[in-house]
Amino acid sequence: AGVASPNSERRRPADARDTDRMKIRVEVRGLPAQLQLNEEYEATCVVVNRLTEPRNLQLQWRMNDMPPGVLAAGKIYTNIGKVAGRSRTNIKQKFYAQQTGMWQLTGCAVVELDTDEEWVMPNLLDVVVAETGVSTPLPAVPERSNSTVFTREASPKPAQPDVFASPTDAPPSTNSSASNLLDMSSAGIAPQEAVFAAPPPADRLYVDVTT
């Protein structure tokens, strides 16, 4: 996995700070400001429920809305379960640096599984992907040591399986039928379907619906 060297904190983009006014919001912590090409990184997604009542949430990284240079890896749809009102929970998320350049980390959304209400996040971070061995003085996004982690109140629904970016990251499937190549947005894939995206750099999604 990639290793970040810088120490100083950088501010979130202005549009990321707009999430402070959202009822459900996401922060990405621990992802370096500069990523090395063809390296995988792990960060923390902090999902905050600012409402007074609990919500049954699913964290989504929508590949079609992500920049071509930085893609979510591993699990891309995560069933969080019930998040109590006025609380937050931490979700580990992997990212893969696929193409050099300056990128905005978009494509994140949170869905309420009981009501289908969704909150689409703006650009959460500005990142640079550089060739291996090339570095620029860009700071990392630090983990906040004093942040509070709230445990989940319930397990995800069995009818809402998690979704992975690579079939090798997912648990064994009982369905051995051939996968279809689909565009996630145009095919109208529902959150409860098990969706697999081909590992970078291929821009294809595989659908495996377990019966």
CB 50 within 8 A of CB 127: no
**What per-residue confidence (pLDDT) applies to 137?**
52
The pLDDT of residue 132: 81
Assign residue 69 a region (left: φ > 0; alpha: ψ between -120 and 50; beta: otherwise).
Answer: alpha
- Which pLDDT score is estimated for 19? 74
pLDDT for the residue 78: 98
Residues of the chain with pLDDT under 70: 1-12, 14, 16-18, 135-161, 166-211
pTM over 0.75: no
Phi-psi label, residue 44: left if phi above 0, alpha if psi -120 to 50, beta otherwise: beta
Give residue 187's pLDDT. 42
Identify whether the C-beta of residue 96 lies closer than 8 Å to the C-beta of residue 166. no
Q: What is the rounded distance in angstroms from the CA atom of residue 57 to the CA atom of residue 55?
A: 6
